Structure 1
Amino acid sequence: MTKSHPLLQLFFWLVMSIFAGSGMLMMAIYLYLAPTLPDTEELKDVELQTPLRVYSADGKLISEFGEKRRTPLTYAEIPPQFINALLASEDDGFFEHHGIDLKGLARAAFELIRTGRKKSGGSTITMQVAKNYYLSSEKTFARKFTEILLALKIEQSLSKQDILELYINKIYLGKRAYGIEAAAQVYYGKSIKELNLAQLAMIAGLPQAPSAANPVNNPRRALDRRNYVLARMRTLEMISAEEFDQAARAPVTARYHGATSEVVAPYVAEMVRREMVERYGDEAYTLGYNVYTTVDTNRQLAANRALQTGLLKYDRDHGYRLPKPMAPINTLDVAENPELEPWLSKADKAYDIDWPETLEQWDSILRDQDDMGLISPAIVRSVENDGAWIYQNNSERWLPFSGMLWAKPYVNVNIIGSEPEKPADLLSAGQRIWVEEGQDGLILAQVPEAEGSIVSLRPNDGAIQALVGGFSLGNNKFNRVIQADRQPGSAFKPFIYSAALANGFTPASIINDAPVVFEDASLENTWRPQNNSGKFYGPTRLRQALYKSQNLVSIRILKQVGPSRAVNYIEPFGFPRSKLNADLSLALGASAVTPMELATGYCVLANGGYAVDPYLISRIEDSNGNILFTATPRTVCRECEKPQSGTAEEQLSASELEQQLQQQLNPEEALPLAPRVMDERTHFLMISMLKDVVRLGTGKRALALNRDDLAGKTGTTNDQKDAWFSGFSPDLVTTVWIGFDQPKTLGRWAFGSNTALPIWVDYMGSALNGVPEHPFEQPEGIVSVRIDPETGLLATPGQSNAIFEYFKEEDVPSQPVKIAPTNGSGETELVPEQLF
């Protein structure tokens, strides 16, 4: 014993030296790293990166933007069963340790020494919080020591509940999902609170390998991990044997769910995104801004449907375009599969289709297709005598031949071929097609080549109620409402006529609709304008000329008013002066404007003569609900300009009128007054003429809405390159445009009245559903008198064909119609008084 004593002493001092050296080393590491540790108090005020979200006026989600999908939860909102699942898989001693698990770290160190490879990090949830919020993912000892020290510091500053809350909101769980609520939405399309035990265990198992082992990318591996979590929960007696058995047998129901949009309005969302980036830079994507737009959910959905329905109809009317792209069809070699021999026909003796592999590729092709609204992608599986079986959404569907009969081959924009005789004339196996849901089954479809747009504004303040910039944003991101400058044609004439009524013309003024030739240096060459019909109608009243859309009358009245004077009058309606041609081509709508600009101009006609500015964003909130911005649009206040009685001192000042408007419309925010740019009497005369466009003229299709408060104007440009209808009630203005992005004819039979107007009627029927009729009020100073319809002069007593016409009091004709001597038949002739 005495001989071994020195050895024991040596061993004792060796052990003590190791402990002392380790302690000194740890102290040195602590002294070196401690000054670099961040202040954990910052975690209490940390801002999680959350996406930009865009909502409709009634709070429905339109879209979200941002690299990270995240919806933060409080600890109280976390389902207890999920907490159990998470702790069972990640850190079952979380509520007992002080930030680090010594056994876990020792086990990880031993594995590293024994194998030379890192198998487990021994990290606690607190250590993962430290890494996620403060540290990089580099695998170094210095980073690991910093993580340990920071975890200890976090435990001293925050409660266990706070730490767990930070963890479940920060952790990456695959597919751009950060936090458990976002993961629940991504994989199941539900809130974490709505998931069952198997689904909660699936989410809890994701932190280990969120990209490689999530249920979308690798269902088999994700299932194994889920069952491991369930087994751990059973071992720790967090669930019963029955709960374990039921959850472990549950199938994998996860699939990818994109951002759950309640309102399809991609062009609106993109407009908001650009505005937010302009305001806040790249932080717009990460600080959790919530943007509330002026868009009305029901009107937006109606606009989507109306525009797509109209474009699909136009496309069907002009034939089916071939060929269509093909999808791959994989085959099996019979020589390698002799057991297939008895099942093959003579034609298939060499090969048969490998359907599992083929359908897997078809699924991938179909998933990659952009959303196209009313039409959806499909692939032809087989063609039969009376239809075709198509593959779509992991299942077969029947496309009857009756749904293909429209598909006469496209020859050119004016000619289509003969009706198909059998499905094989159009389709073949493997062909990629589009289909539309019809009342009697599927209908063959195709993505239209013609494009269009629709924009709807609230005329009293310019709030955008609905906006669709094309058939599909996925097909083309060009927003035709705000980016497409196109000639409006006759849809611009109401502004020319308004200028005329403001400068001495009346609805009864007679203009000679006759051939005219202009030689104008500003027009570069001789100009011989014509009416669309190619006919000339002679002396015509201004009212008739508008609802018949006679071009030569528009040119003559603009010549008399003067192009410069007309531009000065029209510009305040909302048209950029730089876009308005100061020459006679202005009369025919040759000045290119956007649909938004045209709709803005029509707001003046709808709201009583006031200029408003279109706007989309109603308010912006931060992630905590604090309001950062509220729109203050120029707003119509008819009461504010009514004559006031009393002395000058007793009358309200302009600022007091604005305060009055503030009290009437929004007591918390002052709203600027919309300025009057059109005299109320001129406005009334113009409205009465535009109502006749609907009642008697090119806008007759709008009579289908059975309302008496509608007015508007069609527009068709040269060679039918653009088709328009812009119309309104006092409560809503809507402009529809149809054309090709690269201007070319829509066809010889395409006009505003039969191409754009049906879309407008379809939309307005839904948009005004439940909105009572709102008649346009007749102002003081307007009188109605009987006139002769041929001359515009006062009718003679007892004249049988006399009509009533509206005039400003000072513009009532002073002379009755002149009675010429009787002609040979004994009848008197009326002599029209032509202006020129």
Structure 2
Amino acid sequence: MKKMLLLLLIVAGLLAGCTSLALPPELPTPSKVFDAQGRLIATLSPQKRIPVPLKDISPNMQQAIVAIEDARFYQHHGIDPVGLLRALYHNIRAGKIVEGGSTITQQLAKNMFLGPERTARRKIKELWLTIQLERRYSKQEILQMYLNQIYFGQGAYGIEMAARTYFDKSARELDLGESAMLAGIVRAPSLYNPATNLNGARERQSLVLQRMVELGMITPEEAREARQKPLHPQNRLAGQTRAAYFVAEIVKYLQEKFPDQPDLAYTGGLHIHTTLDLDVQEAAEKTFQENFAQQDPALEGALVAYDPRTGHVKAMIGGKDFSRSQFNRALARNQPGSAFKPFLYAAAIDRGYTAATTLECKPVSYEIPGQPPYQPRDFNGGYHNRPFTLKEALYTSDNVVAVELNNRLGPQTLVAYARRMGIESPLRPYLSLALGTSEVTPLEMVRAYGPLANGGVLARPFLITKILDQKGRVLEENSPQLQQVLDPKTAYIVTDMLKGVLQPGGTAAAAGALLDRPAAGKTGTTAHFRDAWFVGYTPQLVTAVYIGYDDKSRSVGATGGQLAAPLWAKFMAAALRDEPEDDFPVPEDIIFVDICADDGLRATPFSSRVIKAAFVKGTEPTLPSFWGSTTPWGLKLRDLLQQDVNFLPEELWKTLKDLDPGMEKKNH
């Protein structure tokens, strides 16, 4: 009978040992992320750890890990037959693996000294090393080494890095609920990662707490309070600093692409080749740091830069400090303000309007069924009470003209053009949409400005060019996806209009002085100065800068031209330092004409305000301007218009003929 019992114990121990071997603690192979030139951006599982003494680890954590991993840790001498039997019993009862048979000392020996192979020879080595560890070190020393060695997922090795990664605190500050959740991760970090599987992690936490109650470490009331306490584990990379928001998006993409292997990015040994340019990214990070150094610590921002010719995302910043906030504002929706206007003007040019078309900025009221009349005002709250050419209206960001233009085209037309150019967020087809009242992301804005920079061609943004597994096999490969969405002439005319934003008289003239190369862009400022934007571009690079508070009740207190545009200009100057100062290619049949800003007609030597504008050949104004003229013929023509704005074309022609007999009649 005794021999039979001994045999059963041996068999049970072997079975539990096999169970332990089937689910060993993960020994990840680091994945590497490279930039577009093959330079290493980040190693995703690089044994990121911060060793700490046992006295700096919360007693809650010490008890929790012992309870779930090795309840008899302080009683055995490294190898625990009782623990093997207990694990077997619990696993059979649960119908799944809920407890391993390896002791903490065995796991430490395995992690520190052995490879991942599963052989009888390796098991013998493990047992021998376990005995040696127990002989050489005290239980406290073994527990300290173990807690500093084990892998907790998301690139975090050791309890200090895990505490910082998941809960943004030190190991000594972990409370009971946090400790139980972290202790529960160790058995299978991919499966019980609380940032990606909170429900599973909660179940595991509950099991840890129950074991602590059974072992007399805590009371049932303490366990109940720990279960009920809300926890907000962070989804972040342990110790990640350079291009942190970009790399976090890479990890998120891999987790979504391989849902059955959520920790593959950290443990799969992948080589991930991306579109990021480290030089451009570092220029963005340096500019951001300098810009925000003297700002309110709560003020946040984002920057996205991409190549409109390929769709390569060259830089991404989602906030000032990834270690403080992992919320990626480059992918968050906010109202863009007047930065949305270029889509409206592209629609207008396509529909026969020109840069010289004039609309008045004057008091106007639009009837909205079921709502009070909509009465748009200019940025300063008033009106200019004069006509604007479309070019001047865009580069000075006149709101009243933009709303009237949207009224004439129809808000659905604006929605269609924004969609065509790359905006995917929900858009509300209201007259106010012209002023950027629907929320979009910075990444969407660079995508939608891309066709303006690239001859009407939309390049879909992407972050990853190729993913290779450990054996060099290609898991995924991406190439540019290009689509002609605008007439090249329309794209160029709008770009020519937006160049004025960075020139004297434009809303970002000061920023234009910081960037000594051809460029175009648009400022955006939302109601009550809540958000500031600038989206601008050269032929090589489109960049969106967003600045605002996460708390939308707060105001940035400045315009996009004052706050976002200078940051954009400094970044672009640094990012393009070694790039040629190319201008935008001029499409065939585009011509340039000097027009009078007061009436949109062809400028004369007497015009006081002259704008050079681009036109499709045949659409340019041919009549000379008269508003700025003090000659007899100019005064007479002005008087005629003031007396009767509905004069007959022939009467106008007769007047011009009388003043200049050599003038030839054209179809105006």
Q: Same fold (TM over 0.5)?
A: yes
Secondary structure class of the residue paired with 1:467: strand
Q: Which residue of 2 aligns with 1:223?
A: none
* Structure 1 residues 525 and 704: alpha-carbon distance in aligned structure 2, compared to 1, 3 A threshold: same
Q: Which residue of 2 aligns with 1:569?
A: 417
Q: Distance in 2 between matches of 1:715 and 1:494?
A: 11
Kept in 1, the 8 Å contact 2:507–2:561? The answer is: yes
Secondary structure class of the residue paired with 1:579: coil
- Quote how far apart the aligned CAs of 1:51 are: 4.3
Q: Distance in 1 between matches of 2:620 and 2:633?
A: 33
Mapped pair 1:782 → 2:590? yes
Kept in 2, the 8 Å contact 1:48–1:287? The answer is: no
- Quote how far apart the aligned CAs of 1:493 are: 0.9
Among 330, 344, 352, the residue aligned to 1:504: 352
Q: Which residue of 2 aligns with 1:752?
A: 560
Mapped pair 1:580 → 2:417? no
Q: Distance in 1 between matches of 2:238 and 2:11?
A: 47
* Structure 1 residues 260 and 138: alpha-carbon distance in aligned structure 2, compared to 1, 3 A threshold: closer
Kept in 2, the 8 Å contact 1:64–1:259? The answer is: no
Q: Which residue of 2 aligns with 1:49?
A: 28
* Structure 1 residues 33 and 746: alpha-carbon distance in aligned structure 2, compared to 1, 3 A threshold: closer
Q: Distance in 1 between matches of 2:118 and 2:406?
A: 83
Q: Which residue of 2 aligns with 1:301?
A: 282
Among 437, 449, 456, the residue aligned to 1:590: 437
Q: Which residue of 1 aligns with 2:102?
A: 137
Kept in 2, the 8 Å contact 1:699–1:714? The answer is: yes
Q: Which residue of 1 aligns with 2:666?
A: none
- Residue-by-residue CA offset, 1:384-431 (whole Å, 9 max, x unaligned): xxxxxxxxxxxxxxxxxxxxxxxxxxxxxxxxxxxxxxxxxxxxxxxx
Secondary structure class of the residue paired with 1:727: strand
Mapped pair 1:712 → 2:535? no
Q: Distance in 2 between matches of 1:818 and 1:37?
A: 97
Q: Which residue of 2 aligns with 1:604?
A: 451
Q: Which residue of 1 aligns with 2:225?
A: none
- What pairs with 1:606-685 in structure 2 (closer than 5 Å)? 606-634=453-481, 674-685=482-493
Structure 2 segments unaligned to the other structure (5+ residues): 50-73, 81-99, 107-116, 130-144, 161-185, 187-236, 647-668
* Structure 1 residues 28 and 801: alpha-carbon distance in aligned structure 2, compared to 1, 3 A threshold: closer
- Residue-by-residue CA offset, 1:735-778 (whole Å, 9 max, x unaligned): 11111112135255x11111111211221121111111121111
Q: Which residue of 2 aligns with 1:291?
A: 272
Secondary structure class of the residue paired with 1:580: coil
Kept in 1, the 8 Å contact 2:48–2:157? The answer is: no
Among 299, 314, 323, the residue aligned to 1:465: 314
Kept in 2, the 8 Å contact 1:467–1:481? The answer is: yes
- What pairs with 1:348-427 in structure 2 (closer than 5 Å)? none
Q: Distance in 2 between matches of 1:30 and 1:535?
A: 92
Q: Which moved more, 1:563-572 or 1:304-313?
A: 304-313
- Residue-by-residue CA offset, 1:685-720 (whole Å, 9 max, x unaligned): 111111111112112123334433211011111111
* Structure 1 residues 800 and 741: alpha-carbon distance in aligned structure 2, compared to 1, 3 A threshold: closer
Q: Which residue of 1 aligns with 2:577?
A: 769
- What pairs with 1:472-491 in structure 2 (closer than 5 Å)? 472-483=321-332, 485-491=333-339
* Structure 1 residues 729 and 121: alpha-carbon distance in aligned structure 2, compared to 1, 3 A threshold: same
Kept in 2, the 8 Å contact 1:51–1:69? The answer is: no
Secondary structure class of the residue paired with 2:588: coil
- What pairs with 1:71-220 in structure 2 (closer than 5 Å)? 136-138=101-103, 154=120, 175-176=148-149
* Structure 1 residues 556 and 305: alpha-carbon distance in aligned structure 2, compared to 1, 3 A threshold: same
The structure number with the bigger radius of gyration is 1
Q: Which residue of 1 aligns with 2:499?
A: 691
Aligned partner letter, 2:448 = G
Kept in 1, the 8 Å contact 2:47–2:156? The answer is: no
- Quote how far apart the aligned CAs of 1:32 are: 10
Aligned partner letter, 1:599 = V
Aligned partner letter, 1:564 = Q
Secondary structure class of the residue paired with 1:792: coil
- Quote how far apart the aligned CAs of 1:806 are: 2.1
Secondary structure class of the residue paired with 2:561: helix
Aligned partner letter, 1:295 = L
Aligned partner letter, 2:480 = P
- Quote how far apart the aligned CAs of 1:502 are: 0.8
Mapped pair 1:725 → 2:537? no
Structure 1 segments unaligned to the other structure (5+ residues): 1-20, 71-115, 123-134, 142-150, 165-171, 188-210, 212-257, 316-447, 635-673
Kept in 1, the 8 Å contact 2:599–2:627? The answer is: no
Q: Distance in 1 between matches of 2:364 and 2:442?
A: 31
- Quote how far apart the aligned CAs of 1:728 are: 0.8
Give the TM-score, by structure 2 length.
0.63
- Quote how far apart the aligned CAs of 1:298 are: 1.9
Secondary structure class of the residue paired with 2:286: helix
Q: Distance in 1 between matches of 2:351 and 2:315?
A: 35
* Structure 1 residues 719 and 137: alpha-carbon distance in aligned structure 2, compared to 1, 3 A threshold: same
* Structure 1 residues 268 and 566: alpha-carbon distance in aligned structure 2, compared to 1, 3 A threshold: same
Aligned partner letter, 1:613 = R
Q: Distance in 2 between matches of 1:460 and 1:482?
A: 21
- Quote how far apart the aligned CAs of 1:63 are: 4.4
- Quote how far apart the aligned CAs of 1:490 are: 1.0
- Residue-by-residue CA offset, 1:768-817 (whole Å, 9 max, x unaligned): 11111121111111122344443222356997876643211231235444
Q: Distance in 2 between matches of 1:152 and 1:739?
A: 54
- Quote how far apart the aligned CAs of 1:449 are: 1.4
Kept in 2, the 8 Å contact 1:821–1:828? The answer is: no
Aligned partner letter, 1:579 = P
- Quote how far apart the aligned CAs of 1:825 are: 13
Kept in 2, the 8 Å contact 1:499–1:570? The answer is: no
* Structure 1 residues 802 and 482: alpha-carbon distance in aligned structure 2, compared to 1, 3 A threshold: closer
Kept in 2, the 8 Å contact 1:51–1:67? The answer is: yes
Kept in 2, the 8 Å contact 1:574–1:611? The answer is: yes
- Quote how far apart the aligned CAs of 1:562 are: 1.7
- What pairs with 1:504-583 in structure 2 (closer than 5 Å)? 504-521=352-369, 524-533=371-380, 534-576=382-424, 579-583=426-430
* Structure 1 residues 118 and 549: alpha-carbon distance in aligned structure 2, compared to 1, 3 A threshold: closer
Q: Which residue of 1 aligns with 2:210?
A: none
- Quote how far apart the aligned CAs of 1:575 are: 1.1
Supply the RMSD in Å over aligned alpha carbons: 4.7
Kept in 2, the 8 Å contact 1:514–1:538? The answer is: yes
Kept in 2, the 8 Å contact 1:690–1:712? The answer is: yes
- Quote how far apart the aligned CAs of 1:618 are: 2.2
Aligned partner letter, 1:807 = F
- Quote how far apart the aligned CAs of 1:619 are: 2.0
Among 541, 551, 558, the residue aligned to 1:742: 551
Kept in 2, the 8 Å contact 1:599–1:734? The answer is: yes
- Quote how far apart the aligned CAs of 1:293 are: 2.4
Among 263, 277, 301, the residue aligned to 2:255: 277
Kept in 1, the 8 Å contact 2:336–2:440? The answer is: yes
- Quote how far apart the aligned CAs of 1:453 are: 1.0
Mapped pair 1:702 → 2:667? no
Kept in 1, the 8 Å contact 2:549–2:556? The answer is: no
Aligned partner letter, 2:282 = L
Q: Distance in 2 between matches of 1:177 and 1:594?
A: 39
Equivalent residues, number: 495
Q: Distance in 1 between matches of 2:393 and 2:401?
A: 6
- What pairs with 1:314-329 in structure 2 (closer than 5 Å)? 314-315=295-296
Q: Distance in 1 between matches of 2:564 and 2:156?
A: 44
Q: Which residue of 2 aligns with 1:453?
A: 302
